[in-house]
Chains A and B, each alone.
Chain A
Amino acid sequence: MRSILAAAIDDEADVTLVDMEAGLEHLSRSGGTLAYADALLVVMEPSRKSILTAGRTIALASQLGLERVYGVGNKAQPGDEEFFATVAAEYGVPLAGIVPADDEVAEADRAGTMLEADRGEPVRRAVAGIVAFVDDALVGSRG
């Protein structure tokens, strides 16, 4: 992905978002690619294994030269916000945000469609929070 993530892409787009494969082996193979990313988000579900995996991903990314790696707790049911916060801290996963489980998002997922603009407000609020977190994290990091 080197040519897509080369610095010149920032001339063409304000934000380039890359939806990547998940596995650690893929990350290590694409090593040089990751260094181009300003930040990496690791999406987790409310399970200890998922957060543990995120911790390993963060450690690997750090070895590959990418320091701004943050977890996102997704599909949070009531009570999962505390779960994510506690276990993420345990495994060294800084959190960019926690996204609640949402019926309207689930409906769009079942239909295989884009979430309509007036749907999923709690999720959109959480996503806006992640955007703000990433913006804060990157302040002063780029010329």
Chain B
Amino acid sequence: MKLGVVGKGGVGKTTLSALLAQAYAADGKVVLAVDTDSNPNLAMSLGLDLPAAEALPLLPRSLAVGGGDGSMSPAAMIATYGTATPSGVTLVNAMRITQPGGG
């Protein structure tokens, strides 16, 4: 199941995303959280401290919008760019897709 969460700055989107992810994990689900916000704060809401959050690998845009060229499977993507967090949720930081005309 794939769930998107959107919201303007200040409404509590990131905190709520983290709480939703934690709720699913507490239910025993395997949860992958993907942060595409230009301010990647989801890491801290999932229990990583600031140094750990800032050291996270960043999923390159080319992979984020790869579109089926087969360059990397989801399993490999998670193994390479995913980080376990104290919340029990695996986190991937992905570059925000904003370039005009891009994927």
Contact = CB atoms under 8 A, between A and B. Distances in A.
B68 A2 contact: yes
Interface of A: 1-6, 8-23, 26-27, 29-30, 32-34, 36-45, 50, 53, 57, 72, 74-75, 99, 105, 108-109, 112-115, 120, 123-124, 127-128, 130-131, 134, 138, 142
Given A2-B66, A11-B75, 16 more contacts: A1-B65, A3-B68, A9-B74, A12-B30, A15-B2, A16-B1, A17-B20, A18-B5, A29-B102, A38-B2, A43-B16, A45-B11, A74-B11, A113-B44, A127-B19, A131-B20
Contact of B15 (A2, A17, A42, A109): A109
Contact of B74 (A4, A15, A34, A45): A4
Contacts, number: 216
A74 B45 CA distance: 16
A5 to B, nearest CB: 6
A30 B97 contact: yes
Given A2-B68, A4-B34, A38-B2, A17 B21 contact: yes
A19 B5 contact: yes
B21 to A, nearest CB: 5
B73 interface: yes
Contact of B6 (A20, A115, A128): A20
Interface in B5-49: 5-24, 27, 29-38, 42, 44-47
A43 B5 contact: yes
22 contacts: A3-B72, A3-B77, A4-B64, A9-B74, A10-B2, A12-B75, A15-B24, A18-B5, A19-B35, A21-B6, A21-B37, A21-B96, A29-B98, A38-B3, A40-B3, A74-B11, A108-B15, A109-B12, A114-B44, A114-B46, A114-B85, A142-B1
Interface residues of B, number: 66
B2 A16 contact: yes
A12 B17 CA distance: 19
A17 B33 contact: yes
